[in-house]
Amino acid sequence: MLKKRQLLPEEQFINTDYFIFCLEAVQDIEENEVTETQEKLEQLTMKYGIASIYKTCDTIEGLEVSLNTLVLDDHNFQNYEIIYLVITGEANSICLNDYYYSLQEIAEVFEGKLNDKILHFSNAKVLDLDEEEAQCFLDITGAKGISGYGNEFNGISSLNLDKVFFNLFKEDNNMLDVVEELYQKHYKLCRLLDFRLYY
């Protein structure tokens, strides 16, 4: 009698029409340590059926290659609503291996490539843009929104709130409705971390 093989978590949701692409900055991509982010993404798959692709990068070139591979080679790209970045940095920049890159520079790298995507930053970095910076990024990349947090890590990771945010998006892809519901359900945490969305 044939034994029925139990599906692996990533196989169970292959037919899903909703994916998250996560890119996490690490010191050295050669080290294969499982990060807290990876564990949370696995929980997202197990609990909510949200599939994700996880990659690491340690240079701006690595970031560019990973996103270009996603945009050009992945036939499911249109199904990725959210590009999730777990990268340190400051208000309007990211930091990779002690080099800072402004979001303006990042926008130019991905000019016209992020159509209808939401770029979501974990609170590994504060996201604080003025109206002009945010609009410029959205105009250049074609993204429909940039979200993240106004308050620094301070021992409280945004990972759990990020998971809720991603799951709400699976249910409803209206960005503003999702943010409103996120605040209704997790008001204290949203205020504590200062969740924000630029669109």
Average model confidence (pLDDT) across the chain: 86
Q: Which CATH class is domain 15-198?
A: alpha beta
Domain parsing of the chain, residue ranges: 15-198
pTM for the model: 0.86
Give the per-residue pLDDT at 85.
94
Which alpha helices (H) appear in 142-186, and where do they start and end?
A: 159-171, 175-185
Model pLDDT for residues 124-143, shown as the tens digit of each residue: 999 999 999 999 999 999 99
Mean of pLDDT values over 178-191: 95
Buried b / exposed e over 46-70, threshold 16 CB at 10 Å, is eebebbbbbbbbbebebbeebbeeb
Least confident range of 9-13, 26-30, 48-52, 97-101 = 9-13
First and final CA of the chain: distance in angstroms? 56
Model pLDDT for residues 51-83, shown as the tens digit of each residue: 888 999 999 999 988 888 877 776 666 678 899
Which alpha helices (H) appear in 79-122, and where do they start and end?
A: 103-109
Model pLDDT for residues 103-129, shown as the tens digit of each residue: 999 999 889 988 888 999 999 999 999
Mean of pLDDT values over 3-30: 64
Q: Which of 26-30, 41-45, 63-67, 82-86 has the highest mean pLDDT?
A: 82-86
Secondary structure element (H or E) that encloses residue 62, with its range: helix 60-73
Burial class (CB in 10 A: 0-12, 13-18, 19+), 131: exposed
Give the per-residue pLDDT at 119.
94
